Structure 1
Amino acid sequence: MKNLLTLFGLILWVSCTSNSYDLIIINADVYDGLGNPPAKVDIAISDGEIIEIGDLGEAKSEKIIDAKGMALSPGFIDMHTHLEPLMDMPLAESHVRQGVTFALGGPDGGGPWPFESYLDSLDQMELGLNVGYLIGHNSVRRAVLGLDDREPNLQELEEMKASIESAMKAGAFGISTGLKYLPGAFSKLDEIISLSKVASQNGGIYTSHLREEGVGLIPAVKEAIVISEQADIPVVLTHHKAIGVRMWGASSQTLALVDSARAQGLDIMMDQYPYAASHTGISVLIPAWAREGGKFSERVSDPVLKDSIKAGIIWNILNDRGGSDLRRIQFSRVSWRTELEGKTLHDWLTMEGEEPSVENGAEYVIKAQLNGGTGTIYHAMDEMDVEKIMAHPMTMIGSDGRLSEPGNGHPHPRAYGTFPRILGYYVREKGVLSLEEAIHKMTGMPAQRLGLANRGIIKKGMKADLVIFDPQTVIDKSTFVKPHQYPVGIEYVIIDGVLALEKGQFLGRTPGRLIRKTELTER
């Protein structure tokens, strides 16, 4: 009798708890992340996963969110994130408030070094969102060759290949290059192909800040396509753009190159941020040879060399990232003179009583570099190119944003507003994308690209990385004048089943962690 009563009690307990969940979301318009139209279904979550989808009106839950009038989508995946401040900003509030649940770091050839020990340190940290990393070619090359403008010898190349191999086995998602930056600018095609083959053999992808995004853009895209073919590796043209007045409209050519390469069986994709202004250091205006070996100050001390350096800067201001106007060059971070943050190169010259000419602008670029450089916003892109690239079916979304916090510098507004801007401005206001297309570009498509098989779409058994937003009000608030503003309309963010944002309020929780690519391939 005792055993019978025990069995009866167990059956009763199972029947009472089989339809009880940690969290249920009801009445939302659910976008699956695959580009399909929304469905009106309920979502049940337990133990960090989506357990049930359908009519859950009779189910019980510790918490129920009524999302009537709102959209529910997979959490946004940022394909290009500057996570350098993560150790100091582990909550990553500027990203979580945008709906980002996974961010990919190590872009543009940069990223942490030594790679493996950095990832081991992150394993010990409590994080506000999930992160993964690429291994940066510039980091690897700098460790072996410094800033020398030369090809590696056989031994040095093998050392670099071993570093890529080690990073891939430690969990890198692939290799990134920054061929416009030092020391990547000094690398030849054969070097990049050799290293990319190592990443490819370990299941990685290749993302590239192209060798040129201005006047040399077309050859640079062709170079990336050759790398894909020769290294047998999927390629992402990261933060794809056409920069500088002379190149406005060139996206028609670059997108045609992508289409042609894909028609030949090559795996070429892009990511993009939704702004007509870029951000990088002031040094991008300076010819690479002038900074080779870290001897810039010596070279500008030589009058003959300085004339050549200045001529190169003037050319870049007029034809490339400078946008032909000193007002298009805006300082975001100036550690040695913070009152310049938010001001333009034109403003700086005016403040100093100098004529705001291109020649004087070049002198002040040299002065800025000698003082330690600046973070700089370049308003040198055309909106039509932005929209054309965005609408291409192979374009994903990546903020290129650096983790930010109010009061710290004058960041590019993409750090706070990328994903809400897509949803509010480019979907609702301009109609460049449908809502389901935009969500696909921010969720299912990047998840597939990165091999995140259990994230990025809404399906039973998937990780519960979810965003609930109001499609009628969602919008970015950060501007180039006042960047430190969080978006509105992102109401809930759920990471691995844990509420990180509730009714628009950031909760300061740490449900995130480091995700290594090796975890995904070992399953």
Structure 2
Amino acid sequence: MKTLIKNAQVIDGTGAPAFQGCVLTEGERILDVIHGDTVEGNFDSVIDAKGQVVCPGFIDSHSHSDLLLFRDKTVPAKVRQGVTTELLGQDGISAAPMPREYESPWRKNLAGLDGDVEELDWSYETTDGYLSLLEKNGSTPNEAYLVPHGNVRMEVLGLDNVKGTDDDLKRMQDVLRRDLEAGGAGLSTGLIYMPCAYSDTREMIALCKAAAEFDRPLVIHQRSEADTILESMEEVITMGRESGVKVHFSHFKVCGKNNADKYEKVLALLDKCKEEGIRVSFDQYPYVAGSTMLGVILPPWAHDGGTDRLLERLGDRDARRRMVQDIEKGIQGWDNFVQFAGLDGIFVTDVKSERNQDCIGKNLVELGELRGKDPYEATFDLLLQEDNAVGMVDFYGLEEHVEGFMRRPEMNVCTDGLLGGKPHPRVFGAFPRVLGRYVRERKALSLEDAVHKMTGRTASVFSFEGRGVLAPGNFADIVVFDPDTIEDKGTFTDPCQYPVGISHVLINGEHVVENGEQRDTAPGKVIRL
């Protein structure tokens, strides 16, 4: 099938200036990109893009669709905002590898971040098995997968807070190599999530060395994005320096208005990496609020041994008192979400049971009022009743920092969207928000630079060959949008709204959004590197 997109403002994803032209596709590939509007020939489909931009499909470098793809392979929240490729396996805890003996506690640990799918066949065990299952299931976007540190650690050391011996680290390296050979796009970790948080720098360097053998990146939610962010960044830089791995910081930010003075020092550390030749990049969602599992507000010791042990502690009065004391007083090196966002700045976004649906949309102070209890007690009750499968949004940042990080050459756009319940609006609108708010309204970026940060730059960082740039022979992942009207519509009180201004989306040459409406089709590929 041949498709012609004509009369378009072509932005090719490289950062080069836009030009008036046409894009021709045949099958799943781009046949040609032409300057000017005159094209002869017969076409099966013609899209007149007059007044619109045609560009590569957007690449979401931080996605949490890992499990819910098996419930809805079309992922409309992503596709309707122009996302044609997602990168799964984030934050060091995901679907695979997963030895069967840990299935029950691991699913509970994962549920608050990626959800749970009862009907899924959980017998796959390895990354190869998971990717094969995903290939069989099919998807509308293309899907790539990072090998999660926590899963690798679980396979070797289980879920306890222990340090690995030299032999343990070699076994973890072997597990990582096995799953990178199966097509993993890199190594991810989340050093605030268990069991990743139990690792030390020595363990991380060992794993990074294995990833560097494949020239695959370390994608890292660092230990601190708040009070000790500078020390945290120095640790990550050490990982890059000692191992040679490419470093990619997840959802880069400075948390807490009390930490605003660290912003310039953070930028200086990025510059230091460039001076030393350490390869560093980061992704960012364009909001001053984040989203993750509500369980992260608990001190690290509460999670020791996995979710079942956590639930035991949540049922223990003495353990609860100790949790409150640690949250109120803080622990050195621990990102204390209550401290930098406040109980009134943390909102419940998702629960798994019907009994607590009335909690969704409430902050933790309001949760206490709803239940007639102290906010801490109400929060602990909620986590216990929901087996820790509770999502949250937290307000942490400053608008000027969002724009400043956005302008950095290391930056690319992501959603980091948790898909359940009443999610963060970035799930539906991160990419259009950059184009509407930060390009058109605030002029923080040029249109060409913004598109590059959504497409070609991301593809380069993660070695997605043939994607991210409009060029002959590349895959026909394409978005057509109106630069004058594109806009995110979701809000924190009503987030599940599709953006406006995107008329067409093609994935591997197949129309998946036509005149603003999504088709029920799944042309996506599993990208195995």
Alignment of 1:63-212 (within 5 A): 63-84=45-66, 85-113=68-96, 114=125, 115-212=127-224
Work out whether residues 314 and 381 of structure 2, in 8 Å CA contact, stay in contact via their aligned partners in 1.
no
Q: Render the CA deviation track for 1:208-230: whole Å, top value 9, x for unaligned.
A: 00111111211111111111111
The partner residue of 2:43 within 31, 42, 61 is 61
Work out whether residues 423 and 438 of structure 1, in 8 Å CA contact, stay in contact via their aligned partners in 2.
yes
Residues paired across the two proteins, number: 488
- Deviation (angstroms), 1:319: 8.2
The partner residue of 1:365 within 354, 360, 379 is 379
Work out whether residues 368 and 379 of structure 2, in 8 Å CA contact, stay in contact via their aligned partners in 1.
no
Secondary structure of the 1:81 match is coil
What is the TM-score when the length of structure 1 is the normalising length? Answer: 0.90
- Deviation (angstroms), 1:315: 4.3
Cα distance change of structure 1 residues 187 and 471 upon mapping to structure 2, 3 Å threshold:
same
Q: Which moved more, 1:95-104 or 1:241-250?
A: 241-250
Residue 49, structure 1, aligned to residue 7, structure 2? no
Work out whether residues 109 and 136 of structure 1, in 8 Å CA contact, stay in contact via their aligned partners in 2.
yes
Hey, what's the Cα distance between the residues in 2 that align with 1:353 and 1:364?
8
Q: Render the CA deviation track for 1:475-522: whole Å, top value 9, x for unaligned.
A: 1111110111111111100111111101101011111010101xxxxx
Q: Who is 2:236 aligned against? A: 224
Residue 334, structure 1, aligned to residue 316, structure 2? no
Instruction: Give, as a single letter, the amino acid of the residue that structure 2 aligns with 1:308.
Output: R
Q: What stretches of structure 2 of length at least 5 have no aligned partner?
A: 97-124
Alignment of 1:422-501 (within 5 A): 422-501=434-513
Instruction: Give, as a single letter, the amino acid of the residue that structure 2 aligns with 1:380.
Output: Y
- Deviation (angstroms), 1:364: 2.8
Secondary structure of the 2:92 match is coil
Work out whether residues 367 and 375 of structure 2, in 8 Å CA contact, stay in contact via their aligned partners in 1.
no
Q: What stretches of structure 1 of length at least 5 have no aligned partner?
A: 1-20, 355-359, 518-523
Q: Who is 2:408 aligned against? A: 392
Work out whether residues 80 and 400 of structure 1, in 8 Å CA contact, stay in contact via their aligned partners in 2.
yes
Secondary structure of the 2:304 match is helix
Q: Render the CA deviation track for 1:335-358: whole Å, top value 9, x for unaligned.
A: 24111111111211122334xxxx
Work out whether residues 367 and 379 of structure 2, in 8 Å CA contact, stay in contact via their aligned partners in 1.
no
Secondary structure of the 1:176 match is strand
Whichever of the two has the greater Rg, that structure is: 1
Q: Structure 1 vs Structure 2: percent identity of aligned residues?
A: 35
What is the TM-score when the length of structure 2 is the normalising length? Answer: 0.89
Cα root mean square deviation, aligned: 1.8
The partner residue of 1:502 within 480, 491, 514 is 514
Work out whether residues 77 and 456 of structure 1, in 8 Å CA contact, stay in contact via their aligned partners in 2.
yes
- Deviation (angstroms), 1:453: 2.4
Cα distance change of structure 1 residues 87 and 303 upon mapping to structure 2, 3 Å threshold:
closer
Work out whether residues 245 and 319 of structure 1, in 8 Å CA contact, stay in contact via their aligned partners in 2.
no
Q: Who is 1:310 aligned against? A: 324
Work out whether residues 170 and 516 of structure 1, in 8 Å CA contact, stay in contact via their aligned partners in 2.
yes
Hey, what's the Cα distance between the residues in 1 that align with 2:446 and 2:326?
43
- Deviation (angstroms), 1:245: 2.8
Q: Who is 2:227 aligned against? A: 215
Alignment of 1:11-50 (within 5 A): 22-50=2-30
Q: Who is 1:241 aligned against? A: 253
Work out whether residues 255 and 397 of structure 2, in 8 Å CA contact, stay in contact via their aligned partners in 1.
yes
Hey, what's the Cα distance between the residues in 2 that align with 1:319 and 1:516?
34
Residue 344, structure 1, aligned to residue 360, structure 2? no
Work out whether residues 146 and 186 of structure 2, in 8 Å CA contact, stay in contact via their aligned partners in 1.
yes
